[in-house]
Amino acid sequence: PGEVFDLYALYVLPTLFLMRINCLITGCCRGIFLFGSAFRAPVREAEMLFYAGMQAAFLYRGREKKEEKNRDTHRKPVGVGRRFPVLMLSYGIFRFLIEFFRESSFPGVLHLTHLWAVLIMIFGFAALFEINHGKAIHKSSRKGGHRK
């Protein structure tokens, strides 16, 4: 499943980028007016930069891993399956912060999307935890046998 996470992250980012282009064209997902001026917060553009930056980082890191693997063929690849959980965690943090600058039909400081961002962070963290520590926990439970 780790390789699927890695591939999915690479394909979902351009899709999300194109969705934000659609937001620019249709005029939805606008930012709030900044400090009483006529200028809006560039939330759609910031999101597009986030997606492009994550894609560039993943592609660069993937190239580094490939070069590292070619140098040392006896080592296991490090970080397999972490791209999508890292994307979930970082996007959740990013979205939580940028949501303060987005127009919303909900009154108050926190929007419903803040809750969604927190859920994304929790799932991303849980997936990373499972990838980093789950294998060790599962192996140690098999070695110890049955405990009463």
Instruction: Say what angle helices 83-98 and 112-129 make with each other, to 10 degrees.
Output: 160
Inter-axis angle of helices 83-98 and 2-26, nearest 10:
30
The per-residue pLDDT for 96 is: 96
Count the Cβ atoms, other than its own, within 10 Å of residue 77.
Answer: 13
pTM for this predicted structure? 0.78
Q: What is the pLDDT along the chain (148 residues), one digit of tens a residue?
A: 678 888 889 999 999 999 999 999 999 999 999 988 999 999 999 999 999 999 999 998 876 665 555 555 555 555 678 899 999 999 999 999 999 999 988 888 898 999 999 999 999 999 999 888 876 555 555 555 555 4
Structure tokens at 1: 């499943």
